[in-house]
Amino acid sequence: MIEVTNMTGGYETKPIVDHVDFQVNRGEFFGVVGPNGSGKTTLFKLMSGILPLWEGEVVIDRKPLEHYPRKQLARKVATLPQVQQSFFSYNVYETVMMGRYAYQSGFFKQPTERDKEVAEQVLEQTGLTDMYSLPLDHLSGGERQRVYLAQALVQEPDILLLDEPTNYLDFSYQKQLLDELKQLSLTNHLTVVSIFHDLNIASLYCDRLLLIDQGQITQIGKPEEVMQKPLLERVYHSSIDVHANPTLSSPQMNLLPDYFLDKTRTAIKPELVEATEEKVLVRTPSCLKPFHQL
């Protein structure tokens, strides 16, 4: 369990994350959402000890973060940062194996049979087995993202902190990755705390969401408690529409482009032109798209 109390911190003099309190339960899939610059990444840096706390504390499994020795913390918490830079061209296997450093001891740090077993299993899980000998700079952005995720997973952490894990991934890999993480949270009780920009994805996969704005918590709760039109419109300064997912319980949102809004910023209802058993034709604001076939 992660307990964050009165967490405050930043970079210079002004706090970026300001007196924040929340808890994440073991095995929970917990999403952090909020506009650009709201403090999501800074919150992660404070939670993982990359940035020092100015005030408050982070307690992981009843032990304050600063009491964890480095290697013990790496076995407990693995992170996938937003931007990964590789200055040397390691191959996929070498990069993934670096995640095992917390389990290696001695001067030469040769991988053990167990290290190799875990690495192979994770390469399989992340669909990287066939690429294991390729240098990282020969991979696409999405493939590289999967390598770094694999590097975090071989740490066999209890807690995974992910900063926009679906960056660069096409929708099929997004689904594959999130299904895998969800499964790990359900069966292995892996705690997943992840930043998302895509509110619909966050709503589909997360047990609870934390909405942050200007360094403070605006709302925390189940997706239906956070995915509320007035709240999201206020925080994101955008016109949106929130509706029930037709097949699942998670609420989903649509952006409302300005050309679909009238002078009072209300969505213009499409005009029904023709409805037969095979098709429905509607007319939307005529200047742009005369017809939509549904």
The one segment of 36-44, 127-135, 151-159, 237-245 that binds ligand ATP by CB under 6 A: 36-44
Out of 15, 34, 99, 251, the residue judged to bind ligand ATP by CB under 6 A = 34
Query: Whole-angstrom Cα distance, residue 187 to residue 195?
Result: 22
| Of 17 and 152, CB closest to ligand ATP | 17
Question: Can residue 36 be called a binding residue for ligand ATP (CB under 6 A)?
Answer: yes
Residues recorded for the chain: 294
Cβ 203 to ligand ATP shortest distance, Å: 17
Which spans in the chain are helix H? 40-47, 70-76, 92-97, 113-125, 141-153, 171-187, 199-205, 223-226, 229-236
Contact (Cβ atoms closer than 8 angstroms) between residue 193 and residue 47: yes
Question: Can residue 38 be called a binding residue for ligand ATP (CB under 6 A)?
Answer: yes
| Nearest CA-CA partner of 282 in 130, 293, 169, 193 | 293
Out of 2, 22, 41, 156, the residue judged to bind ligand ATP by CB under 6 A = 41
Contact (Cβ atoms closer than 8 angstroms) between residue 176 and residue 198: no
Q: Considering only residues 2-21, where is the footprint of ligand ATP by CB under 6 A?
A: 11, 16
Query: Whole-angstrom Cα distance, residue 285 to residue 268?
Result: 8
Question: Can residue 199 be called a binding residue for ligand ATP (CB under 6 A)?
Answer: no
The one segment of 37-45, 101-109, 111-119, 264-272 that binds ligand ATP by CB under 6 A: 37-45
Question: Can residue 40 be called a binding residue for ligand ATP (CB under 6 A)?
Answer: yes
Listed in sequence order, the residues at least 6 apart from 217 whose beta carbon sits closer than 8 Å to its beta carbon are 20, 21, 22, 210, 211
Pairing of β 29-33 and β 208-213 = parallel
Cβ 176 to ligand ATP shortest distance, Å: 24
Cβ 10 to ligand ATP shortest distance, Å: 7
Query: Whole-angstrom Cα distance, residue 136 to residue 169?
Result: 16
Contact flags string 42-81 toward ligand ATP, x per CB under 6 A: x---------------------------------------
Contacting residues toward ligand ATP, per CB under 6 A: 11, 16, 34, 36-42
